[in-house]
């Protein structure tokens, strides 16, 4: 698994501050939620919150990931930060594994559809998936999702394999440390 970059982590921290109950800019989440209905970045209201975080040399596919994650975050502002002791359990597959463990019968079917998604269909599948996670109170590692979206089309499909591993693998205990 490719870990989120410091820039991605700072961006998600920015989103978390916007989503905080005491945020002075409560309209930010509403503006970003409206952007969740269309193509990532198509709604002009979201630019105010995402554009300052996009370096000039960033590829279009990466930019789309930032916009998509911002819009999805606004619909479900619960962040699952990376756990350094269990980094294999913090991707989207881990969130769906938690959903399944809470007795959601459709989790596996929806998860398989998500894994089979082509990039152009991914925003729609993710909107539905995040809505389901929100309904059941399951957090998402948003920074990891940005990173995973970056590599969604990789020929090795390593992102999909990592998600699948996190979804179907039994829960693991942290590795014992040498004394």
Give the domain CATH number at 101: 1.10.520.40
Tell me what pLDDT residue 169 has: 84
Return d(Cα 42, Cα 25) in angstroms, integer: 21
Mean pLDDT by 10 residues, the chain (179 residues): 90 91 80 74 81 91 92 92 60 94 90 95 94 95 96 96 91 49
Tell me what pLDDT residue 16 has: 92
Tell me what pLDDT residue 154 has: 96
On whether residue 176 sits in a domain, the answer given is: no
The count of structural domains within the chain is 1
Structure tokens at 46: 């979201």
Return d(Cα 7, Cα 85) in angstroms, integer: 22
Taking the CA atoms of residue 45, residue 135, residue 141 and residue 8 in that order, the dihedral angle to the nearest 10 degrees is 0
pTM (2 decimals)?
0.87
On whether residue 135 sits in a domain, the answer given is: yes
User: Distance from first CA to last CA of the chain, Å, rounded?
Assistant: 28
Tell me what pLDDT residue 150 has: 95
On whether residue 179 sits in a domain, the answer given is: no
* Paired residues of 140 in beta bridges: 79
Cβ atoms of 32 and 46 within 8 Å: the answer is: yes
On whether residue 173 sits in a domain, the answer given is: no
On whether residue 114 sits in a domain, the answer given is: yes
Picking from 132, 144, 123, 133, the residue whose alpha carbon sits closest to that of residue 12 is 144
Picking from 76, 81, 74, the residue whose alpha carbon sits closest to that of residue 13 is 81
Tell me what pLDDT residue 14 has: 93
On whether residue 161 sits in a domain, the answer given is: yes
Going by C-beta distance under 8 Å and a sequence separation of 6 or more, which residues neighbour residue 178? none
* Residue-number span of the structural domain to which 145 is assigned: 6-168
On whether residue 178 sits in a domain, the answer given is: no
């Amino acid at each position: 698994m490719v870990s989120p970059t410091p820039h991605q982590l700072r961006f998600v921290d920015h989103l978390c501050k916007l989503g905080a109950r005491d945020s002075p800019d409560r309209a930010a989440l509403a503006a970003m939620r409206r952007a969740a209905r269309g193509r990532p970045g198509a709604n002009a209201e979201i630019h105010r919150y995402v554009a300052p975080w996009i370096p000039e040399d960033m590829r279009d596919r990466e930019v789309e990931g930032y916009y998509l994650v911002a819009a999805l975050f606004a619909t479900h502002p619960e962040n699952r930060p990376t756990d350094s002791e269990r980094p294999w359990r913090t991707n989207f597959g881990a969130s769906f594994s938690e959903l399944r463990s809470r007795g959601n019968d459709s989790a596996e079917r929806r998860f398989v559809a998500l894994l089979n998604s082509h990039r152009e269909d991914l925003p729609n599948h993710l909107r539905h998936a995040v809505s389901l996670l929100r309904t059941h109170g399951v957090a998402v590692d948003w920074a990891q999702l940005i990173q995973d979206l970056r590599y969604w089309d990789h020929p090795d499909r390593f992102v999909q394999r990592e998600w699948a591993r996190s979804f179907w693998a039994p829960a693991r205990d942290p590795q014992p440390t040498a004394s």
